[in-house]
Amino acid sequence: MQKRNLKFFRAVNEALHVAMQKDKNVICYGLGTDDPKGVFGTTLGLRENFGPERVFDMPTSENSMTGIAIGAALNGIRPVMTHQRLDFFLLAMDQLVNNAAKWHYMFGGKHSVPITIRLILGRGWGQGPTHSQNLQAWFAHIPGLKVVAPATASDAKGLLLSSIFDPNPVIFLEQRWLHNVEGHVPAGDFRVALGQAKVLRHGDAATIVASSYMTIEALQAVKVLSKNGVECDVVDLRTLCPLDWKTIFSSVKKTGRLLVLDTGNETCSVASEIVARVSMELFSSLKGAPRRIALADVPTPTSPTLTKVFYKGAEDIVKAIGQMLRKDIPFEDLNNKSACPHDVPGDWFKGPF
């Protein structure tokens, strides 16, 4: 197969084009959906191609616009909503939790609510307390919601297409720092099944479970670990609900050690759930206590001196694995990341958003 590299944001854009082309019932709306920047480039060209009836900007009414998506979905429409930050969506938790998530169950399976809600997560550049929360654990806690968090361009496309054509409400989490990550992306109606993790690197020393942006940090970390003779499994969850327990369990059974990475706050996190369940069900397979790396239980700070200690990365992962193996593994900045400030994903990012 010919390699066809695309950036993550282009992969999202392509998925939206494919979905709208394939099914006239797919509509796309959200604040800024058809503005000149097209939500970080992800919605560019949609209005031109599919018209203003199917692609439109919306009033700043997050809660009702979610209820409107639910109502439309009850009559065969497949709405894709976009919010430029997860934080802006919190007003809509009522419609999401009280209606979308349970409509199918509470009416005895008579209706389904096929809506996809794209939420973009901020990080760095002083995004601070209300522009960078990842509340993925909230969503994963609600019965009836699926939660998707891709890390690669190819998964962004494949998972978004599967989300749009899934009969259930899906929360699709896009880390802003991933938008420029590039990778091979198959053309056409390419889908990645929801609920399936992917083992990106193989090794016997430990299992590193990651998702979204922390998958990128995990891949950096295992390069350093590998240079030191330590090979780890990297399990990219891709879907946070339903979790792919089979893949997690089979990796932990092999390695006996578990480190879970999370892009949200630590307490009651998705990582907590994975650590708990592995401890309960695979206790005898474990060679040591499982660990997790997540954000401290504080609101996101703004100042760079504070974000530097707040966010975790490859160095923390290497250190944690070293401690778990009782091995002294020096960290090495293989990608020369320290040449660029810690609060941007790369020199392409000049802020402000």
Partner 1 sequence: MKFIRMVEETIAVRYSESKMRCPTHLCTGQEAISAAVGLALRQDDFVVSTHRSHGHYLGKGGNLNAMMAEIYGKATGCSLGKGGSMHLVDKSVGFMGSTAIVGGTIPVGVGLGLSIRLHGTDQVSCAFFGDGASEEGMFYESVNFAVLKKLPVLFICENNLYSVYSPLKVRQPSKRAIYTLAKAIGCPAEQGDGNDAESIYQKVSRALRRIRQGKGPYFFEFSTYRWREHCGPLFDNDLGYRTNQEYLEWKKRDPVLRLEQKLLRRKDLSKADIERVERDISRQVAKAFDFAEKSPFPDASELTKDVFA
Return the active site residues.
62, 131
Q: Is 21 in the site for partner 1 (CB under 8 A)?
A: no
Site size toward partner 1, by CB under 8 A: 44
How far from each other are the two terminal CA atoms of the chain, in whole angstroms?
A: 36
In the list 32, 68, 126, 253, the residue contacting partner 1 (rule: CB under 8 A) is 68
Tell me phi and psi for residue 279, to 5 degrees: -60, -40
Buried b (16+ CB within 10 A) or exposed e, 231-265: ebbbbbbbbbbebbeebbbebbeebbbbbbbbbbb
Query: How far apart are the C-alpha atoms of 250 and 233, rounded to whole Å?
Result: 11
Nearer to partner 1, 53 or 328 (CB): 53
CA–CA gap between residue 203 and residue 321 (Å, rounded): 13
Q: Which stretch binds partner 1 (CB under 8 A): 37-45, 55-63, 118-126, 289-297?
A: 55-63
| Token output for 113 | 């609510």
Element (H, E) at 274: helix 270-281
Q: CB 281 → partner 1: shortest distance, Å? A: 19
Tell me if 256 contacts partner 1 by CB under 8 A: no
For residue 10, the one-letter residue type is: R
- Beta strand 26-29 with 206-210: parallel, antiparallel or unpaired? unpaired
Cα separation, 179 vs 40, whole angstroms: 8
- Specify the stretch interacting with partner 1 by CB under 8 A; choose among 98-106, 157-165, 178-186, 322-330: 98-106
Helix, strand, or coil here: 120? strand
Which C-beta is closer to partner 1: that of 188 or that of 242?
242
Q: Residue holding tokens 């349970």?
A: 102
Position 155, amino acid: D
Q: How far is the CB of 75 from partner 1 (least distance, A)?
A: 4
Member of 17, 41, 93, 111 binding partner 1 (CB under 8 A): 111
Report in angstroms how near the CB of residue 171 gets to partner 1 at its nearest.
14
Q: Name the minimum Å distance from CB 92 to partner 1.
A: 10
Position among 15, 65, 147, 237 found at the interface with partner 1 (CB under 8 A): 65
Q: Interface residues for partner 1 in 153-212 (CB under 8 A)?
A: 167-168
Assess 16 for contact with partner 1 (CB under 8 A): no
List residues near partner 1 by CB under 8 A. Answer: 25, 27, 53-54, 58-59, 61, 63-77, 91, 94-95, 98-99, 103-114, 143-144, 146, 167-168
